[in-house]
Amino acid sequence: MIQGKVLFIFAFLFFRGIEFTFAQDSLPPQKPEQSIELLGEGYITSKTITNRFIKAFYFGEFIDDALKSTVSGKLGAVNRMGADSKWGLTYTFHSLEEKGKPRFSFSFFDRANLNLKFSGDLFKTVFYGNKMFAGSTAALGNFKFNFLRYQQFRFGWDWKGSVTRGSYGIAFSLLSGDRNTGINALRADLFTAPDGTFLDLDLKMDMIQTDTTRKSFFAQNGLGLSADCYYELPYVAWKSPGKITVELKDLGFIRWKSNSMSHQVDSSFHFEGVDVSDIFNLDSSSFTFHVDEALDENTRFVKKRYATSIPFTLDIHTKVFYGKKLAFEKGISWLLNAQARPYYYAKLHFLLGINKSFDVAYLVGYGGYGGFNSGLDVKMDFARHYSLHFIDNYLFSGIAGRSTYGMGMYLKLTRRF
């Protein structure tokens, strides 16, 4: 009797185990998380050059005295202007079948960057002429200009952390260089005679440029590499959860082909004429000053390979959550290998909707190529599988003053599968 009960219990447990095993095996595998992001962003900003002046110059409109005087009133010994654009798409894939497996992403972006540093005397000479410097020397040096355009193929991996362990990620990119023009005028002193009969120019300048006959999209005038990495660590501040993030983006270089051009000049020039007191007056027939001719006669010119370190960003910021509806973010972002200064920013986030599906933040910032800026940072989920992220750093920047400095936008549309 006892043996029969034991056999019954054993058989019951055996078949229950088989049933449990079959049930486990019959569970459908978890579908991977996938998404496609369409991204477009760009900005142009300066602490000196107004938006109206930039638009008039770009579209070839007449630049009147009012526009020039607004800029002249802001000129300093050193002035900066910068622009950047980036557009493309990203595909991400995250398998959920194995714990701890990283999320993989692939991106393609078309990138362009402009860096400019110039003296106040240079702006006045170009837009007012050199007559105001009669009998004196205009300091046109300490001038830097760099324009860069390239395509980026990016491969990235992200590992998500926990409450106690941080998240981190790495990425590597292949770069296809289209165009590059770089000018570095360490010294450019222009003396105008008191009676306007002669000019003396003391010039030390280096100029590099890629093949001017290949300017199309995907011209492939050069090849390069870059890398990204970040680390995000959670913490608790005054009983409020938060996280600190350190991120390095676009650390890399492009090596340009052997048909690239290099100009070097370190010499003094003397020009005489009937009247050389307004060398940039295109309506004057008294004197014509051709910079290209001077460079052809006095420049050391070679065709050779050269390498360019692309601008890269170091960003450190913290974000602290106060309850479920409010968060405060602050940080510093520095664009290196460029003429920009450190950029300090802060964001006040309002988290709304179910599962914080709507995040609207008021942001303020100072630095970079410009001065003070303020705007909005908005993230929202809609139509179940879609997300939209919109940023305008300069939306409210012009409210306090008559002139606005800086314009741009960031827009990202995400479709999840």
pLDDT tens digits in sequence order for the chain, 417 residues long: 444 544 444 444 443 443 434 344 445 566 789 999 999 999 999 999 999 999 999 898 999 999 999 999 999 999 999 999 999 999 999 987 777 789 999 999 999 999 999 999 999 999 998 889 999 999 999 999 999 999 999 999 999 887 678 999 999 999 999 999 999 999 999 999 998 888 999 999 999 999 888 777 788 899 999 999 999 999 988 889 999 999 999 999 999 999 999 999 998 888 886 555 566 554 433 344 444 444 556 678 889 999 999 999 999 999 999 998 999 999 999 999 999 999 999 999 999 988 788 999 999 999 999 999 999 999 999 988 999 999 999 998 766 555 789 999 999 999 999
Nearest to 369, CA basis, from 397, 339, 392: 339
Please name which of 235, 264, 252 lies closest in space to residue 154, comparing C-alpha atoms: 252
pLDDT for residue 275:
58
DSSP secondary structure letters along 87-133: EEEEEEEE--SSTTPPEEEEEEEEEEEEEEEE-HHHHHHHHH-SGGG
Closest by CA position to 306, among listed 345, 342, 365, 258: 258
| Contact status, residue 11 vs residue 43, Cβ threshold 8 Å | no
Query: Distance (Å, rounded) from C-alpha 73 to C-alpha 99?
Result: 61
Predicted TM-score (pTM) of the model is 0.85
Q: Going along 238-371, which residue ranges are E strands?
A: 240-256, 261-272, 300-303, 306-309, 312-322, 326-336, 343-352, 358-367
In this prediction, residue 88 carries a pLDDT of 98
What's residue 216's pLDDT? 76
| pLDDT (0 to 100) of residue 31 | 74
pLDDT at site 212: 83
Write down the pLDDT at residue 299: 74
How far does Cα 167 stand from its chain's mean position?
24
The distance from CA 411 to its chain's CA centroid, rounded to whole angstroms, is 14
Phi-psi map region of 384: left, alpha, beta (phi>0 left; psi -120 to 50 alpha): left
pLDDT of residue 320: 96
- pLDDT of the residue at 298: 66
Handedness of CA 68, 69, 72, 73 (dihedral sign): negative
Angle in degrees, 0-180, between the axes of helices 65-72 and 120-128, rounded to the nearest 10: 170
The β-bridge partners of 318 are 244, 330
Give first-to-last CA distance, the chain, whole Å. Answer: 60
Provide CB contacts within 8 A for 117, sequence distance 6+.
78, 79, 80, 142, 143, 144, 145, 339
Q: With the CA atoms of 340, 344, 350 and 352 taken in that order, what torsion angle do they form, in degrees rounded to the nearest 10? A: 40
For residue 163, the SS3 value is coil
Q: Which of 93, 90, 142 is nearest to 116 (CA)?
A: 142
What domains does the chain contain, in order, with CATH numbers? 33-416 (2.40.160)
| Residue partners of 52: CB distance under 8 A and separation at least 6 | 67, 70, 403, 404
**Token code pair at residue 48:** 């000196």
Half-sphere exposure in the Cβ direction for 241 (13 Å, CA): 8
